[in-house]
Amino acid sequence: MKRWLAIFLTTLLILSCVNLALGEAASSADAILEQASALLDADDYDGARELLLPLAEQGNATAQLDMGRSYYRQQAYEDAVKWLQMAADQGDPYAQYGLGICYEYGDGVEADPAKALELYSKAAEQGDADYQNNMGYCYQNAIGTEENPVEAAHWYQLAADQGDPYGQTNLGWCYEYGYGVEQSYEKALECYQLAADQGFAIAQSNLGMYYYYGRGGLEKNDEESFKWFQLAADQGFYGAQNWIGDFYLEGTCVEQDYAEAMKWYQLAADQGYGVAQTSIGWCYQEGLGVEKDAKEAVRWYQMAVDQGDEIGFKAMADCYANGIGVEQNDEKAFELYLQSAETGYDPAQTNVGDCYANGKGVEQDVAKAAEWYKLAADQGNDEAQEKLDALKK
């Protein structure tokens, strides 16, 4: 009996020593990883790898991940792939996502969007909301698969269910436009409100629009709309900054102030936002808050056109149609009106109808004029409806 007790106690002592050694080793590894992370943040990649390499070669997935990250940041993509693959094979979601990026963009491997999606899916299935949002984005934008609105909404829902503001906002967008779900402004509003309450700027801006237009069961409320736009604009969100500019330009629930409007438009335009660039062009064209300058207006409209802004296309077309800041050119005007109209912008669709009806910049074609007027009229454009009715007489 005593012999067995002695053996038992000896075994416990050995196990205790082993556990202590393992604990010390784990503690040491954590300390090394923490030091390496600090070096990575300081862009000291060689120093970080010197610490990480022994751990990575021993199979530490976090060390392998950080080795991959260090090489990726230096654009040594093949080395990055090697280490990310090792960590991904151990099921590390960050490595799976990082490796997916490499396959999507062909960094260190032959581009393979389907392989990227497979890796993104493995990462997302471990429950990280960021990766679930990414899966929704892939299905929405046909990355590695065909576009699938239902799958996109499904992944956004999973992220939203975790309280993730990106997921809530993405899901709200799905409900707003009926993308993969039944269209519902009310449900979109619920999603936006949840995200906005967490301080998420895009959702705050969307909430501002809902108050401005009175959507989702809300009463139109300019003051409440301005409040939410201001919260988003103060975080630097360009869409909200442009809206604040509109409020000051029009004097909506604030004292009209063209200079203040220009300030907010400029903040948004500096981020490459085409709508704001068009707004600045309009201010120069009309001399609102700045000295009137047609050529400067055209310069800003061109920036907006380069960004693909449909209103910018129409504004530039108006300049060519009327010789504002450029030499008058009906053919160029028609070309720009058409580019704007093809995005679904109804005022430009009406302009295209006018061009066909009057043979300006294009051969006269009353039937085509009617087609374009109808497209605009179907969106509620009263001017287009009147012109369509006139053609039928």
C-beta neighbour count of 108 within 10 angstroms: 21
pLDDT band, residue 29 (cuts 50/70/90): confident
pTM equals 0.84
**Chain segment 339-357, per-residue pLDDT in tens:** 999 999 999 999 999 999 9
CB contact at 8 A, 182 and 147:
no
Which residues lie below 8 Å from residue 186, measured CB to CB, with a gap of 6+? 216, 217
Q: What is the pLDDT of residue 393?
A: 74
Taking 60 as the threshold, does the pLDDT of residue 23 lie above it? no
Q: What is the pLDDT of residue 4?
A: 41
In the chain, how long is the greatest CA-to-CA distance? 114
**Chain segment 166-199, per-residue pLDDT in tens:** 999 999 999 999 999 999 999 999 999 999 999 9
Rounded to whole angstroms, the Cα distance separating 214 from 217 reads 7
Taking 90 as the threshold, does the pLDDT of residue 10 lie above it? no
**Amino acid residing at 380:** G
The average pLDDT across 289-293 equals: 95
The average pLDDT across 269-288 equals: 97
| Mean pLDDT computed over every residue of the chain | 93
Phi, psi of 161 (to 5 degrees): -65, -20
23, HSE (Cβ side, Cα atoms, 13 Å): 6
In the DSSP assignment, the letter for residue 184 is: -
Q: Is the dihedral of CA 100, 136, 345, 363 positive or negative?
A: positive
Q: What is the pLDDT of residue 6?
A: 46
Taking 90 as the threshold, does the pLDDT of residue 365 lie above it? yes
Rounded to whole angstroms, the Cα distance separating 200 from 192 reads 9
**Chain segment 13-22, per-residue pLDDT in tens:** 443 443 434 3
CB contact at 8 A, 114 and 98:
no
